[in-house]
Each structure stands twice: as C-alpha cells, then as structure tokens.
Amino acid sequence: MSQLEWWRDAVIYQVYPRSFADADGNGLGDLRGITSRLDHLVELGVDALWLSPFYPSPQHDAGYDVADYRDVDPRFGTLADFDDLVAAAKDRDLRVVVDLVPNHTSWDHEWFQEALAAGPGSAARERYHFRKGLGVDGELPPNSWQSVFGGPAWTRVPDGEWYLHLFDTSQPDLNWDLPEVRKMFEDVLRFWLDRGVDGFRVDVAHGLVKESGLPEWTEAQVPITSPGAEHRIPPMWDQDGVHDVYRQWRQVLDSYDGDRMMVGEAWVAPAERLARYVRPDEMHQAFNFNYLMAPWTAQDQRIAIETSLAGVEPVGAICTWVLSNHDVVRHASRLGFPPGYSTQGGIGIGDPPPDEALGLRRARAATMLMLSLPGSAYLYQGEEVGLPEHTTLPDEVRQDPTWFRSKHEVRGRDGCRVPIPWEPGVAAYGFSPNGQSWLPQPGDWDRFAADRQRGVPGSTLTLYIEAIRLRRKHGLGGGTLTWFDGDDLVDFRNGGVRVITNFGAVPVPLPPGEVLLVSGDLAADGSLPPDTTAWVRA
Ligand code: GLC
C-alpha cells in the first residue's frame, strides 16, 4: 500500500445532482449542469466529487430508489452525458465517485416487477424478502420491524404476501443471501469501473444482510446503534455477513488499475464496530457520523476526534470527517442551536429557528477544524458558501418520504436539498436558465451566491479555498496530532501547524507564530474570539 493513494487525504465534494445545476431548464439539476460547473470544484481545490444517484428511478426517495443500475435517468441526462462528465473531470484532475444503492431496489426495478407477477413461492420472489403475514388470515405484518422513514417495514401485496422495506414502500430490500443478487452487483461495479469511475459510495452499507429468520425486534427503527445500545445488535443492521460482500467487492476493485475506492455509509457505533468496515481487505473508508453528531463543546469534539482516530488505528485505515450531507440539517444551521439540541427531524415553519449568525460563525470554525484533521474530508455542495438549511419550506412542497411516512410528524430532509445559489440577482440564483427550481429557494440567498463571494476577502468561499490550499501545502491530511490541554479549547499540533478552536465565552491568547488562517476576525489584541478556529505556524 503506498502513501500516495489519493483517497487517504482527499477532500471529496458531494454533488447532489438534482440541486447542483440545471442545464436543460426543467428545474431539476442534471449531469450537463454539473459538467458546466466543474471549474467551481477546481477553484475550491477539492480532489474528487461524489455524485448522489442519477440512475433511472421513479424518484420516490430522490433517486435512492434505483430502477436500473446501469443507466442514467432521462431527467438527469444520458450515459453519453455521464461519459462527458467523467472526461471533463479527468481533464481537471478531479476523481469521480458514484453512489451505489445495494440494500434495496426501486419497486420499478424489473426484478421486483417480476416478483410481483410471479407470485408466492417463485424464484423471482426469492430475490427480495417476501413472507406470509401473521394473524388468522395473514393480515398482520410478519414481524414488527419499523421503517427508518416511519411506519411498518412491511407492505402487503394483492396476493396476500408481505415484502420487507427498511425504507420507503417503494424501496423493497434485496435478499443478499442469494448468489444471483451478489452477482448482479458485481456486474454493476464493473459497469461503472469500466466507464472510468474512481470509486463508490455504498448506501446503507450496514444493512444488506439480515439476521437469518428475521427475528422480532420491537425497538424503534433508527439507523444507528447508539452508544449505550452497543450490546444489542439489531437483526437488520451491522450483521457479520455484510463483510463478506465488501471483501468480494474489494477484490473486484483491486483487479482494476488506479486506486479505485469504496466509502461506506454505515450508521454504526461505537468506532470499533465501524472499523470493521475498513479492515485491509474491505472498504477504504467509512463515513464518520459520530463526528458529525458530536455536540459543539470542546470536550465532545476532542472525544469524537480521538475516539475516531483510535477506532481505525488497529485496522490501519484512515479516518473520514464530515459535517453536512443530504440527510442532515446543514451544519451552518445545526450549530446555530445550543450544543446537544437535536435537529434530527429537520426544521420547518413553526419550529424554533437557529441563530443564523452564530451558526455560520461556528460552521466556519468547525470546517477549519475538520480540514485540519488527518484523513479524508467530505464537503456537501453549498457549505462552501456558508449555505444554511431552508428552515421555512412550505410543508406542501415537501418531497422527503419521511414527511409522508411519519404522517407529517417528522419534517425530513428537504431543507438541506434546496438547489444551491450561484449568481446573485437572477432567477433561481443561476441554478437553472429559466428560474425553475424543484424546491423553492428562499428570497434572501443573494449573499450566498458563489459569484458574490468569489475573490471577496473574508467570504466563506474564500475561507474554504484558503483552508483547502493550506491543508494540502502543510500535509495536514497525512499528519498526526499532538494534543495540548486548555479549558474550552480544542488545541493540537498537526505537523508544522497548531490548530486551536475556542469553544469558550471569552477570547484566548494565541501561541506565538505566524497566523496562517482564522475562521473569523481576531480580537483587537490579537486573541482568538469564541467559536473561532485559528491555524498558526508552530
Ligand atoms: C441513505 C441515503 C438516504 C436514503 C437512504 C435510503 O441513508 O443517504 O438519502 O434515503 O439511504 O436509500
């Protein structure tokens, strides 16, 4: 293994295709739109982009319900558009990672359509989890598993059988005990590897294999084994059998030239369980959601960083770091609440609003802290301009299945998925040529437009560009940390750079040395104000 593998210290930018850039003007972003905006990623200085799903799909879960794993949804373009995007990215030294959704298909997938038509006991039904129901006439679900999006994890079909879906009704779970299912996904991997992708983000990586017999589990269905519940592994998550799948896939990736990689979306705790996904013959990376969820206090942040690093150490893997993605409230808004406040269900009209200025201040400090850490960092489109959550989306426009399955109790994730602003003062902020936007954008987003912030000292875009440049220059992504103690501080040295974040209420003096970058203004006497991060040449 060489230290030169690109993903070891990469900054990877998540593109959410439907909300990045719309070339054809239908209000939904598309692949040609992404290609037209690639220079923004070059300007930022990231190493790679990860594309959320763009495959044919009825879009009941924004494309995470895949009807055909080997094509492009006409709404997003064509395979030729995909090839153009990959070529344009390569020209710019950008790597391309695509999303793979193996836990479930869409109910529009030909396999599920076949299963419905073929009826009980058929080979076609074996590819999914069909069962008879309980009760006198089978009118009750086979067990009480709940969907992550709310409601039962089972739906009954007209002939009386039930099928399992850990997510939406439109997302039937595949049966990974079946060699045919494994074979199909190996072919899918090869299909995209042959087209030149550099890696895969593996959706719901902890869910593919279920405990045999699908034993009863009456607890709420949250997609994480929270610390404290560690001793009980739910029968639908984090089963030992998933690791065989990734060992197999690793062999496929290793048979290709270049450093092809996999990053797992595994909502698993504690860190030692997560480390099992990144053993040397499995995935290269796993998302670090424990870091994402750590409250904004010095103690919580330090613990999250140290336990994350310690967790992967025994298996020789690198850590990843992430603050925002398409499933959580954007960190510029999340951090505008008191530490520990839960935004898990999203934010909508009538909910307490975040303190926007405080949120942005902390978000900038958090990002600088994250970009100083060894390993690979993930950015979510829009965070580089300090974009907040859309916290006042009218409920009538919501599309997240969570909102519907929870019977309108949980707002869901639409607020972080709103099309991003590029240009101030024009319709849809330049997202689409004619002002269309699949979710409405707030009226006051001019200040977040990339064009407004470009080249402006102190803007969030300028901060991101500088931080990524300095991270690379000083080798922070490949470094190790030496900690210093201090009340209300996260304070460490990474190679030649001292990193200090002030979580307290009063400014603290900085150590001597050249200040390389600060997430906000220093106090008049040169000290570091609250909720601010500084990088100082050590
Ligand atoms: C993952 C995706 C999320 C999706 C779910 C079901 O958690 O990130 O957006 O809804 O899987 O595919």
Compute the mean pLDDT over every residue in the chain, rounded to the nearest whole number: 96
Q: Are residues 373 and 491 in the same domain?
A: no
The helix/strand/coil state of 388 is coil
Across 432-444, average pLDDT: 97
Q: Is residue 448 one of the residues assigned to a domain?
A: yes
Residue of 50, 66, 166, 167 to mutate, ligand 1, most atoms within 8 A of C-beta: 167
Q: Are residues 280 and 198 in the same domain?
A: yes
Q: How many helices (H) and strands (E) does the chain have?
A: 15, 16
Q: Is residue 174 one of the residues assigned to a domain?
A: no
Supply the pLDDT for residue 226. Answer: 53
Beta-bridge mates of residue 533: 501
Write down the catalytic residue from 30, 73, 203, 238.
203
Supply the pLDDT for residue 269. Answer: 85
Q: What is the DSSP string of 339-376?
A: TT---TT---TTSPPP-HHHHHHHHHHHHHHHHTSSSE
- For residue 222, the one-letter residue type is V
CATH number of the domain at 153, please.
Answer: 3.90.400.10
Q: Is residue 207 one of the residues assigned to a domain?
A: yes
List strands edge to edge, sheet with 515-518.
481-483, 489-494, 497-502, 532-537, 515-518
Q: Are residues 280 and 374 in the same domain?
A: yes
Q: Are residues 92 and 186 in the same domain?
A: yes
Q: Give, rounded to a whole angstrom, the gap between the first and last alpha carbons of the chain.
A: 30
- Tokens 């069909």, residue? 130
For residue 495 the two structure tokens come to 């190679």
Supply the pLDDT for residue 280. Answer: 98
Q: Are residues 374 and 264 in the same domain?
A: yes
Q: Are residues 271 and 395 in the same domain?
A: yes
Q: Predicted confidence band at 231 (pLDDT cuts at 50, 70, 90)?
A: low
Task: Please check whether residue 31 is in contact with residue 77, taking contact to mean a CB–CB distance below 8 angstroms.
Answer: yes
Supply the pLDDT for residue 162. Answer: 98
Burial of 278 (0-12, 13-18, 19+ CB in 10 A): buried
Q: Are residues 444 and 516 in the same domain?
A: no
- This prediction has a pTM of 0.97
Domain of 490 in residue numbering reads as: 480-537
> How many domains does the structure of the chain reveal?
3
Distance CA 210, CA 480 (A): 38
- Tokens 């197999």, residue? 248
Q: Are residues 217 and 360 in the same domain?
A: yes
Supply the pLDDT for residue 224. Answer: 52
Taking only the tens place, the pLDDT of each residue in 109-120 is 999 999 999 999
Supply the pLDDT for residue 219. Answer: 77
Q: Which atom of ligand 1 is nearest to the CA of 61?
A: 10
Q: Is residue 170 one of the residues assigned to a domain?
A: no
Is the pLDDT at 225 greater than 70, yes or no? no
Supply the pLDDT for residue 2. Answer: 45
Write down the catalytic residue from 265, 384, 400, 414.
265
Distance (angstroms) between ligand 1 centre and the Cα of 512 equals 46
226 vs 74, residue with greater confidence: 74
Q: Which atom of ligand 1 is nearest to the CA of 327?
A: 9
Is the pLDDT at 536 greater than 80, yes or no? yes
Taking only the tens place, the pLDDT of each residue in 164-190 is 999 999 999 999 999 999 999 999 999
CATH number of the domain at 527, please.
Answer: 2.60.40.1180
* Cβ atoms within 10 Å, residue 186: 15
Q: Mark whether 265 is an active-site residue.
A: yes
Distance CA 232, CA 6 (A): 37
Q: Is residue 471 one of the residues assigned to a domain?
A: no
Q: Which residues of 157-172 are buried (b: 16+ CB within 10 A; e: fewer)?
A: eeeebbbbbbbbbbbb
Q: Is residue 469 one of the residues assigned to a domain?
A: no
Distance (angstroms) between ligand 1 centre and the Cα of 286 equals 15
Is the pLDDT at 291 greater than 50, yes or no? yes
Q: Is residue 475 one of the residues assigned to a domain?
A: no
463, 491, 508 - which closes a domain: 463
Give φ, ψ of 290 to 5 degrees.
-65, -35
Give φ, ψ of 153 to 5 degrees.
-85, 15
Q: Are residues 486 and 386 in the same domain?
A: no
Q: Are residues 93 and 140 in the same domain?
A: no
Give the chain's radius of gyration (CA, Å).
23
For residue 145 the two structure tokens come to 């598993």
Q: Are residues 187 and 246 in the same domain?
A: yes
Ligand 1 pocket, CB under 6 A: 61, 64, 101, 167, 203-204, 265, 326-327
Give φ, ψ of 46 to 5 degrees.
-75, 165
Supply the pLDDT for residue 1. Answer: 41
Residue nearest to atom 4 of ligand 1 (CA): 64
For residue 120 the two structure tokens come to 């009980």
Distance (angstroms) between ligand 1 centre and the Cα of 255 equals 28
Supply the pLDDT for residue 218. Answer: 83
Distance CA 221, CA 412 (A): 15
Across 61-65, average pLDDT: 98
Q: Are residues 399 and 509 in the same domain?
A: no
Distance (angstroms) between ligand 1 centre and the Cα of 268 equals 15
402, 432, 463 - which closes a domain: 463
Q: Which atom of ligand 1 is nearest to the CA of 104?
A: 12
Give φ, ψ of 476 to 5 degrees.
-65, -35
Q: Is residue 270 one of the residues assigned to a domain?
A: yes
Distance (angstroms) between ligand 1 centre and the Cα of 243 equals 20
